[in-house]
Chain A
Amino acid sequence: MKKWLMLLLAVMVAVVLAACTTSGSSDSGEQNDGGEEASGGEKVLKLNNGSEPTSLDPPIGFDSYSWNVLNNLMEGMTRLDESHEPAAATAEKWDVSEDGKVYTFHIREDANWSNGDPVTAGDFEFAWKRLVDPEVASPAAFLGYFIEGAEAYNNGEGSKDDVMVEAVDEKTLEVTLTAPTGYFLHVISNPAFFPINEEVQSENEEWFAEADSFVGNGPFQLAKWTHDSELVMEKNDEYWDADTVKLDKVEWAMVNDTNTEYQMYESGDLDTSDIPSEMSEELIDSENVVIEEQAGTHFYRFNVNEEPFTNEKIRKAFAMAVNQEEIVEYVTKNKEEPAYGFVSYGFTDPSGEDFRDKNGDLVEYDPEQAKQLLEEGMEEEGYEELPKVTLTYNTSDVNKSIAETVQSMYKENLDVDITLENTEWNVFLQDQKDLKHQLSRSSFLADYADPINFLESFTTDSSMNRTGWSNEEYDELIQQAKSEADEEQRFEYMYEAEKILFEEMPIFPIHFYNQVVLQKDEVENIVRHPVGYLELKWADKN
């Protein structure tokens, strides 16, 4: 009988424990319900940022985690519009000098900070000089190098006063560039160029660290920021174009697991979600999927200093033996565009033609020609047998399946056995920079929307080169494109440069990136820019 007493005790403990949790739960349940009722008339968009923003200090937070938030809390001189082109924002209008080097921005009268202060030219001068201040150590500082004197200040040779950004008066900013830069208005739409309220900064150097002290000038203002957990933005009534903004509130979760994100989307806690990779086949064709372009390329790098890729024909053989379309169709299954050039779609030249269409397919899948090129190349080098080839990728499921497919394509099309090797991300990057790989997986995401940003990667001294490849003519063309005022001529240089890149083939492309998201029916007009940040100014939820 006493044994049963023991059991009874155990059951009681269990019941009490259960009661504790349920009583706690019903409390919070009521709170939740109450909250929803109160917000019945409000338009609240629920998004996931994936992680805590790195920093909301504009020149420091140089990644999409920071940009998604920052781009909606602040605004630069220009803002990318719905068609991803720079449009007047804090600047109402601007004048460009004859030689294309001097920009004079006129800030609109009603541009205000969220604390009511007017946005001044001085705020921009302060922010842009701060961007290239070596002490601030901004990872985005190189974007400021377009401005005369900025590079010298950043590398410690020049002084702050020589950076040619000047507030002529309260509302007029004059900037002198090192060269006519047709895409300068694109570049300054990047969050790194957002203004900073100088007065706020001088009172509190860490104004961007908490919601209470954050002062922005964008469509939304920061209402609440629970670090690592949640961030809430509310419509900013001080914003000059507040009438356009439809949402009352945006709640950002910071869920770093795609499966969880998807489950939260399913249970109604989120309005958009990425697709978990193992479910892409099932979900990619559903009607709630939104697919947007992203300016970037998934590609493979040869190391032209390592045999057998010292030989151009062998490089071409390896490039032409890969069937991009098959990879996109059967391996990544994410509706990407297969890539036959390096510059992605979405950049129109002055004649209105898309860069990619105009320059055409610069590498084609052709197993027969690949086989022949391989033979010719081996003969040129005097190889009886092809030196061992190792393909290296950073550890990830997708990279692995692409690499395995490439491996089998080489076996089938070239009758070459290659070895696969994977390393941890950071080790991989270090080895790639030190040219320790033979053939390696790579990716490029554009910092600003111009083909030059893609192409400048492969100049001899670019830290993005990582192939050992160097071509004087190519370097020259990039240099010319960077200083050319005539847009038509500038595009000619870039077309020519890309052709040279593929004639010598130090790299070969796999696919262009895209952004695939699931989105609830009632959500509309979220703009996802190809350069990687999210725009909620026009977003609505019904």
Chain B
Amino acid sequence: MTKYIIKRFLIMIGTVLIIATLTFFLMHAIPGSPFNEERNSNEVVQANLEAHYHLNEPLFIQYLIYLKSIATLDFGPSIKHPTQTVNDLLGRGFPISFELGIVTILVAVISGIILGVLAALKHNGIIDYLAMTIAVLGISIPNFVLATLLIQKLAVDWDIFPAATWSSPLHMVLPTLALATGPMAIIARLTRSSMLEVLTQDYIKTARAKGLMPYKIIIKHALKNALMPVVTILGTLLAGILTGTFVIEKIFAIPGMGRYFIESINQRDYPVIMGTTVFYSFFLVFMLFLVDIAYGLLDPRIKMHKKEGE
């Protein structure tokens, strides 16, 4: 197991390095510069700015500077927000995105599984149709539409929740709902279909024949196995939601880190592009790694050390 984890960890580092290198050269291949402005900008002023951020150095030197910044985990100041470092931006934005993300995932997973299980148990019944209607709606309504609708109804018209910004738990309700609906729907559908499959398995029949209590059969025998596909998508879902979402954070004016992914590219804010990419890719591979570990725990047929031993 330890050997497996070390090996996986090294692969993770390698993956992140490759992603980082690709991003670096792709980013410099896009035309434009962080100092391109519509307004008049004097050439001397431009040159001073470029020198200030080492952008006048050859690309290879910039690459080395950048590798050093990854190694020391210090990405330097943002070009567009010069009084803040990339670490400041991420350090401030990530906890907020993470907080919103965790609540969202919890809501999505719990309600998704409940919906899915109910639908599977009442297969082709009213509850099934109802649950799947909710799920289809959840998948097909884009979250920004839902977000605007929620603000208009629940904040402006009925004045139950605040419209936007981020200052109290109450402010979390609308963005959580808007964000959680999509993943909830996906999880509900996945749970339902794999539950249906598992429920026809022989061991479930055996369990029933033994006279076990139905809820025990469902939770302990059926659900545990039905959750495998859910766990699979959870890795990507976690990485995506926990690092913030551009649209929802923009609509609700949430000071998370989602915006930096998009804005930094539009503004050619090189240090922020690199910082967000490295951070996100590391986070993603780490989540996938956790998912692999979770497989082993959920399904005894997958044994890490056995794979190693062969």
Residues on A facing B (Cβ under 8 Å): 2-3, 5-7, 9-10, 13-14, 17, 21, 24-25, 27-29, 31-32, 52, 54-57, 60, 134-135, 137-139, 141-142, 145, 151, 154-155, 206, 208-209, 226-230, 253-257, 259-260, 263-264, 266-267, 269, 424-427, 429-431, 433, 442-445, 447, 456-457, 462-464
Contacts and interface: CB of A to CB of B under 8 A. Distances in A.
Contact of B215 (A5, A13, A139, A253): A5
B156 A266 contact: yes
Interface residues of B, number: 67
Interface stretch (B30-38, B63-71, B291-299, B300-308): B30-38
B261 to A, nearest CB: 14
Given A25-B169, A254-B253, A260-B163, A134 B48 contact: yes
Contacts, number: 186
Nearest to B161: A25
B41 A260 contact: no
Contact of A267 (B35, B88, B159, B252): B159
20 contacts: A13-B114, A25-B170, A28-B170, A54-B81, A54-B82, A57-B82, A60-B82, A139-B41, A142-B40, A145-B42, A227-B88, A230-B167, A259-B148, A260-B250, A263-B164, A424-B266, A430-B31, A443-B38, A463-B40, A464-B39
A135 B45 CA distance: 11
B169 A227 contact: no
B168 A31 contact: yes
Contacts of A206: 83
B197 to A, nearest CB: 19
A212 to B, nearest CB: 14
B213 to A, nearest CB: 6
B42 A142 contact: yes
Contact of A254 (B42, B43, B93, B255): B255
A141 B45 CA distance: 7
A25 B173 contact: yes
Interface in B125-153: 148, 151-152
A260 B253 contact: yes
B285 to A, nearest CB: 27
A9 B251 CA distance: 35
A269 B252 CA distance: 13
Contacts of B215: 2-3, 5-6, 9
B83 A209 contact: yes
A13 B38 CA distance: 55
A7 B92 contact: no
A29 B170 contact: yes
B32 A427 contact: yes
B286 interface: no
A3 B266 CA distance: 54
A154 B49 CA distance: 11
Contacts of A9: 215
Contacts of B33: 426, 430
A416 to B, nearest CB: 28
Given A55-B83, A266-B156, A463-B42, A17 B110 contact: yes
Contact of B218 (A6, A259, A429): A6
A425 B265 CA distance: 11
B165 interface: yes
Contacts of B43: 463
A227 B84 contact: yes
Contacts of B152: 263
Given A10-B118, A260-B253, 16 more contacts: A6-B214, A6-B218, A9-B215, A10-B114, A21-B169, A29-B170, A32-B168, A134-B48, A154-B45, A209-B84, A257-B253, A263-B151, A264-B164, A264-B165, A269-B165, A430-B36
